[in-house]
């Protein structure tokens, strides 16, 4: 909303927070800006921003890629690599028949080829996730040369007197912002997200996303493992002690809780993979995809099914690839979560522990 011809010189009732700002304004050097018209700065056009990061970047793509590794975009990359459709598109050099799937496969197929995130990010992340337009900056309104595209809903004009100290101006300006700026109610994703691939939401917990990937990989590599086994081995609810015979009376309830926990993470992971194949992340909302869908057409569907689901006698080609890429990570996480020192156990017994055939791993035999 615009405020025309209004001078902010009246007495302002301030909150405790504003009072502190007012009291400290004389001492804060950051509030004393130099008066540079920032939009004219030649550096601003080179600045890149990502909605999933709090940093701004210029030309150092390596620093940018390393920063992205500690962000939601790393999780996006990992869920892309969980997709059997994107894997098949890369392994067979084909595209799905659906246009949206084909576009995502074309843009993200490099994630299958490059197993190191930083390497992949240096080549692709900037074009996929960086904002195509930075946040608008505060500028001076010139009534003699007004801008062509004024928005009453998205911009605010104040008349600020320049003949009084800044210490008196700042609290009043903040007070006007408090009246007209939506504050925390501002939906940045909706209002100012201009990347080619936009984040579905900023409300996520990365540790939960990691658990979902662990459960997804676990169930894919060990399809015979029951859900309660997966939840137990990953210690998703460590107070449910199903391996301890001292708690026989509580085991049935514990099995049900563990089945529920692992099942919830598994279906959410499957939803995220389906959404990521369609360019949306992090998104675990319900999505209905018919089992009769043949993403690569009728002619290639038998090959797609065989390559991703196998023949029932041995692991499929996709499962073998996933095993090569993620089995080591899964083993490390299971051992760590069970407080087992990898150097002290017989690694040949770990597979039976993961599959649920036994409830323990054997120690290494120490030669005399």
Cβ-contact 96, 109 below 8 angstroms: no
Lowest-confidence segment of 13-22, 197-206, 338-347 by average pLDDT: 13-22
Q: How far is CA 52 from CA 61, 175, 225, 335, in A?
A: 17, 29, 35, 31
Mean pLDDT is lowest, of 203-217, 221-235, 343-357, for: 343-357
Residue 190 is predicted with a pLDDT of 62
pLDDT in tens, 329-349: 999 999 999 998 888 888 888
For 185-196, the pLDDT digits (tens) are: 666 556 666 788
Among residues 237, 221, 223, the alpha carbon closest in space to that of 337 is found at: 237
pLDDT at 137: 65
- For the ranges 139-148, 202-211, 230-239, the lowest mean pLDDT is seen at 139-148
- Structure-token pair, residue 109: 């197929």
From CA 167, how far away is CA 152, in angstroms rounded?
28
**Backbone torsion region of residue 188, taken as left when φ is above 0, otherwise alpha when ψ lies between -120 and 50, otherwise beta:** alpha
Q: What mean pLDDT comes out for the span 61-86? A: 92
Q: Report the alpha-carbon distance of residue 162 to residue 317 in Å, rounded.
A: 71
Among 46-55, 108-117, 203-212, where is mean pLDDT lowest? 46-55
pLDDT at 235 over 60: yes
For strands 56-57 and 48-49, give the pairing.
antiparallel
Encode pLDDT of 247-257 as tens digits.
Answer: 566 677 888 89
Across 262-282, average pLDDT: 96
pLDDT for the residue 319: 96
Q: How far apart are CA 368 and CA 365, in angstroms?
A: 9
Average pLDDT of the chain is 81
pLDDT in tens, 294-304: 999 999 999 99
The pTM assigned to this predicted structure is: 0.74
Asked if residue 81 lies in contact with residue 88, where contact means CB atoms within 8 angstroms, the answer is no
Q: How far is CA 85 from CA 74, 148, 212, 318, in A?
A: 19, 47, 19, 10
pLDDT over 70 (residue 126): yes
pLDDT of residue 320: 96
Helix (H/G/I), strand (E/B), else coil: 199? strand
Residue with the bigger pLDDT between 258 and 148: it is 258
If one compares 159 and 78, the residue with the highest pLDDT of the two is 78
Cite the DSSP H helix spans in 117-250.
117-129, 166-180, 188-192, 206-221, 227-233
Confidence (pLDDT) at 142: 76
The pLDDT tens digits of the residues spanning 20-56 come to: 544 544 343 333 333 334 444 555 555 677 888 876 6
pLDDT at 151 over 80: no
Which percentage of the chain shows pLDDT scores above 70? 78
The pLDDT of residue 19: 54
- Chain centre to alpha carbon of residue 204: 7
Q: What confidence category does residue 61 fall into, taking pLDDT thresholds of 50, 70 and 90?
A: confident
Closest CA to 125 of 68, 83, 57: 68
Instruction: Give yes or no for residue 290 having a pLDDT over 80.
Output: yes
Neighbouring CB atoms inside 10 A of 227's CB total 20
């Amino acid at each position: 909303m615009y405020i025309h011809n209004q001078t902010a010189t009246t007495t302002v009732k301030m909150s405790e927070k504003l009072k502190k700002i007012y009291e400290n304004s004389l001492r804060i050097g950051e509030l004393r800006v130099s008066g540079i018209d920032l939009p004219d700065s030649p550096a601003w056009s080179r600045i890149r921003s990502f909605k999933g990061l709090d940093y701004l970047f210029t030309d150092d793509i390596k620093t940018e890629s390393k920063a992205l590794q500690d962000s939601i975009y790393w999780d996006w990359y990992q869920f892309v690599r969980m997709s059997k459709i994107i894997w098949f598109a890369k392994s067979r050099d084909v595209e799905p028949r659906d246009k949206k799937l084909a576009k995502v496969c074309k843009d993200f197929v490099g994630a299958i080829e490059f197993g190191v995130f930083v390497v992949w990010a240096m080549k692709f992340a900037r074009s996929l996730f960086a904002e195509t337009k930075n946040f608008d900056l505060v500028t001076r309104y010139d009534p003699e040369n007004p801008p062509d595209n004024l928005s009453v809903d998205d911009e605010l004009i104040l008349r600020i007197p320049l003949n009084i100290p800044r210490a008196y101006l700042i609290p009043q300006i903040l007070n006007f912002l408090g009246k007209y700026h939506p504050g925390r109610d501002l939906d940045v994703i909706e209002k100012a997200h201009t990347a080619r691939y936009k984040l579905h939401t900023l409300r996520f917990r990365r540790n939960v996303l990691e658990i979902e990937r662990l459960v997804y990989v676990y169930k894919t590599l060990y399809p015979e493992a029951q859900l309660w086994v997966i939840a137990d081995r990953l210690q998703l609810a460590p107070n449910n002690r199903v391996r301890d015979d001292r708690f026989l009376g509580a085991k049935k309830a514990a099995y049900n809780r563990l089945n529920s926990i692992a099942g919830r993470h598994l279906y959410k992971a499957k939803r995220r993979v389906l959404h990521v194949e369609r360019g949306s992340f992090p998104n675990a909302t319900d999505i209905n995809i018919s089992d009769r869908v043949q993403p690569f057409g009728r002619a290639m569907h038998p090959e797609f099914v065989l390559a991703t689901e196998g023949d029932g006698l041995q692991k499929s080609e996709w499962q073998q690839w996933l095993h090569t890429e993620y089995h080591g990570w899964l083993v490390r996480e299971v051992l760590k979560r069970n407080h087992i020192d990898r150097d002290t156990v017989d690694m040949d017994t770990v597979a039976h522990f993961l599959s649920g055939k036994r409830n323990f791993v054997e120690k290494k035999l120490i030669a005399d």
